[in-house]
Amino acid sequence: ETGVTQTPRHLVMGMTNKKSLKCEQHLGHNAMYWYKQSAKKPLELMFVYSLEERVENNSVPSRFSPECPNSSHLFLHLHTLQPEDSALYLCASSQDLSYEQYFGPGTRLTVT
């Protein structure tokens, strides 16, 4: 048990669907992150939140929209995705920026 949970664990969606990924951390951390992990590619940092404020957006397409309503919850809203968006989406949290990160199990997303 890492203290970071993600739901759903698996998601299949069509290109016209709208869905959301949810992440919750039970560690009392101040920073949360979304990563994309594709086969044969390095881990891609998508978004960083510190104290519920977004501090980084790595040129992520607007079809991905993050939301951090409080320091324990992080969402990734998805709409009009492309097949190349199929990947494992990982959430992580850390005590503060630059501290070691604790990861959730990920959501395996397939876009059809």
72 in contact with other proteins (CB under 8 A) = no
DSSP string, 53-77: EEEEE-S--TTEEEEEEETTEEEEE
Cα distances (Å, whole numbers) of residue 61 to 2, 4, 85, 96: 29, 25, 10, 26
Contacts with other proteins by CB under 8 A: the residue count is 24
Closest CA to 70 of 54, 91, 53, 52: 52
CA nearest to 13, candidates 78, 62, 58: 78
Which of 12, 15, 43, 51 lies at the binding interface for other proteins (CB under 8 A)?
Answer: 43
Closest distance to other proteins from the beta carbon of 13 (Å): 20
Q: Which of 90, 93, 109, 111 binds other proteins (CB under 8 A)?
A: 90
Among 29, 32, 33, 78, binds other proteins (CB under 8 A): 33
Query: Which residues of this protein are in contact with other proteins, per CB under 8 A?
Result: 2, 4, 6, 33, 42-43, 45, 48, 50, 55-56, 90, 92, 94, 97-106
